[in-house]
Amino acid sequence: MTPVSAVRAAAERLEHVLLTEGAPEILVQLRSDLSGIEDFLTDAYNISDATARQVISLAYEIEDAVDSYARPDAASKRNREANHVRAGDTTTRERSDTSTPTFNLNPLTQVRGNGVRGSTILKLGAEDRLRSILLHGQSRLSVIAICGEGGVGKTTLARSLYNDPLVVEHFDSGGCVTVGDVFRLRDIQKALLISLGSALSMAQMETRELTEQFYLVLKGRRYLVVLDDVWSWREWGALRSAFPDDENGSAIVVTSRLQQVAEHTASDADLVYQIRRFDDKESWLLFKMITRLEDPGS
């Protein structure tokens, strides 16, 4: 069970209790707090494992307390099940972290829907900042680079921006490609051409001809392209030159684990963003801010 699903389960259990007559005011306030926690966790992308365990444990305690209020014999059963669910969740999370990246690109309309150099930002608020750059940034073609360690949520952030309704409306078309450790220039260009509705037969095209067609198809469009999980910048120049710049606000978002890749691909030094995890202290402080809970260790 994830922190979000644990909190949601507690909130739903509480909702049933609130339907009964005479529910105390503290339960009404608790329901409001749980909504705030759920919103926070949904937007936070990544919290540390320790904080996730704290949140799940707290959700179980709340659900036990609610069950005790509504049905005193229920709490002991919930306690017995809690450890089993948490252990299974750890195994599932570890498996998902090692999944193999896939190569996938689709039209923007089908899939979805200014910092300082090396700026380090938490995931909370990062999406708003980067969305603002995409919607209200410079007219010339921008390349935004998001870097950070594996599993920190770069892909989630990039795809969330790509699927954002305001971004969908703003851009004419685009694509989202997972590049991986092998930078296949032809594959990326071919996938983009297909996603943009090109009827060209590309199997026999030379690389130079393919690059020219790629340029012509994008010419005049306001596009957004996400290049996810880029490991090398050596062929970046060849790919970048194939993107036309009509000064209409088009943008490319690159994600990478490597700072060097981010610095070489970003169009400006102030468009390099480093993403890091919340540490335990920051997570707990934000958690308290949202829920108005007191730190039990204070």
Instruction: Mark whether 231 and 265 lie in a shared domain.
Output: yes
Please tell me the predicted confidence (pLDDT) of residue 199. 66
267 and 163 in one domain?
A: yes
Distance, in Å, from the CA atom of 68 to the CA atom of 190, rounded to the nearest integer, reads: 60
Answer with the residue of higher pLDDT: 295 or 219.
219
94 and 236 in a single domain? The answer is no
Number of independent structural domains in the chain: 2
Give the end of a domain, one of 80, 99, 118: 99
Same domain, 137 and 50: no
Question: pLDDT tier at 21 (50, 70, 90 boundaries)?
Answer: low
Note whether 127 and 263 are same-domain residues. Answer: yes
Q: Per-residue pLDDT for 121 more than 50?
A: no
Say which residue, 59 or 253, is predicted with more confidence: 253
For residue range 87-119, list pLDDT tens digits in order. Answer: 223 222 232 333 322 333 333 333 333 333 344
The answer to whether residues 148 and 260 belong to one domain is yes
Q: Which domain holds residue 112?
A: 108-276
In a domain, 176, yes or no: yes
Q: Are residues 29 and 140 in the same domain?
A: no
In a domain, 235, yes or no: yes
pLDDT score, position 220: 93
Helix-helix angle 154-163:126-136, to 10 degrees: 50
Q: Please indicate, yes or no, whether residues 256 and 163 belong to a single structural domain of this protein.
A: yes
Whether 292 has a pLDDT exceeding 70, the answer reads no
Same structural domain for residues 260 and 197? yes
Q: Give yes or no: residues 55 and 127 share one domain.
A: no
Which pairs with CB-CB distance under 8 Å and at least 24 residues apart come from 182-191?
183/230, 183/231, 183/232, 183/234, 183/235, 183/236, 183/239, 184/103, 185/235, 185/238, 185/239, 186/210, 187/103, 188/105, 188/227, 188/239, 189/214, 189/239, 189/242, 191/103, 191/105
What type of residue sits at position 161? Answer: L
Which tens digits make up the pLDDT trace of 187-225? Answer: 888 877 776 667 677 777 888 888 888 898 889 999 999
